[in-house]
């Protein structure tokens, strides 16, 4: 198994069997995974903030940090590799309320809304999500099987296997 680690404000696209895309410590950040089951091409984005317009210089320097710049790039890269947009299976995890107990900044929720807005705009619907709450998450996208594994609170489960449909949060 060839594990490719996606860091914070990072994005990786891969194809080929035996490859697994992983990202850790999704607190208020969101991990967004796109996967084409026919070509086995997939991508995983770990973004931290909703909107690059507050810091356009940083948005240009590191577009993966923000939902509005990172998500279109993830889609573009996955499709450039040969995935078909209409076949993509989309899963997301994160957006928790982490550091701020009074929810003054609500970054997690803002990240989630920004992601939803972008996905609607670029024309993709979500298949499964595990968002909100207060716990950090780790996710893995297995490119051979297309399975999306979620670790939360010491437990691991598969996301998108008949549960966790959007709207359930």
Partner 1 sequence: MAYRVLIVDDSPAMRSFVRRVMELSGFDLSNCFEAGDGAEALRLLGSEWVDAILTDINMPRMDGEELLRRLSGDELLRSIPAIVISTDATSTRIDRLTTLGAKGYITKPFLPEQLREVLERTLGAAND
Partner 2 sequence: MTDEELLAALRESVRQVLEKMFFAEPLDGGSTALEADGLAVRVAFDGSPSGALVLAITDAAARRVAADFLGEDESSVDSAQTSEVICELANMICGSILSRVESQTIFRLASPTILSADHWRFHFEPGCGRVIHTVQLENGSLTASAEIQEKLCPTGEKSGY
Catalytic residue annotation? 29
Cβ neighbours of residue 122 closer than 8 Å, sequence gap 6 or more: 71, 72, 75
Residue 117 interaction partner, one of partner 1, partner 2, none, beta carbon < 5-8 Å per kind: partner 2
Q: What is the smallest separation between the CB atom of 27 and partner 2, expressed in angstroms?
A: 18
**Phi, psi (degrees; rounded to nearest 5) at 67:** -60, -45
Binding status of residue 161 toward partner 1 by CB under 8 A: no
For 26, what's the count of Cα atoms within 13 Å in the CB-facing half-sphere? Answer: 31
Phi, psi of 137 (to 5 degrees): -130, 155
110 contact choice in partner 2, partner 1, none (CB below 5 to 8 Å, kind-dependent): partner 2
Which residues here bind partner 2, judged by CB under 8 A?
A: 106, 109-110, 113-114, 116-117, 120-121, 123
Contact predicate 135/150, CB 8 Å:
no
Task: Give the residue with the Cβ less far from partner 2, 8 or 113.
Answer: 113
Residues 6+ positions from 105 with CB-CB distance below 8 Å:
none
Phi, psi of 71 (to 5 degrees): -65, -45
Selected from 86, 101, 102, 162, the binder of partner 1 by CB under 8 A is: 86
**Tokens representing 39?**
């070509």
HEC assignment per residue over 120-145 = HHHCCCCCEEEECCCCCEEEEEECCC
Q: Is 61 in the site for partner 1 (CB under 8 A)?
A: no
120-139 footprint of partner 1 as x/- string (CB under 8 A): x--xxxxx------------
Closer Cβ to partner 2, 42 or 50, answer by number: 50
Instruction: Tell whether residue 166 is a contact of partner 1 (CB under 8 A).
Output: yes
Contacting residues toward partner 1, per CB under 8 A: 86, 120, 123-127, 165-167
């Amino acid at each position: 198994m060839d594990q490719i680690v996606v860091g914070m404000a990072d994005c990786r696209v891969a194809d080929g069997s035996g490859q697994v895309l992983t990202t850790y410590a999704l607190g208020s950040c969101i991990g967004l995974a796109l996967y084409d089951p026919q070509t086995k091409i997939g991508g995983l984005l770990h973004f931290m903030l909703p909107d690059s317009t507050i810091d356009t210089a940083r948005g240009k320097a590191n577009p993966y940090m923000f939902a509005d710049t990172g998500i279109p790039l993830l889609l573009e890269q996955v499709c450039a590799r040969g995935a078909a947009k209409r076949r993509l299976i989309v899963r997301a995890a994160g957006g928790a309320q982490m550091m701020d107990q009074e929810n003054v900044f609500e970054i997690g929720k803002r990240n989630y809304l920004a992601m939803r807005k972008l996905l609607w705009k670029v024309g993709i619907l979500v298949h499964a999500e595990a968002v909100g709450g207060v716990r950090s998450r780790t996710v893995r996208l297995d490119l051979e099987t297309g399975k999306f594994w979620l670790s939360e609170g010491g437990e691991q489960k598969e996301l998108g296997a008949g549960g966790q449909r959007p709207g359930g949060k």
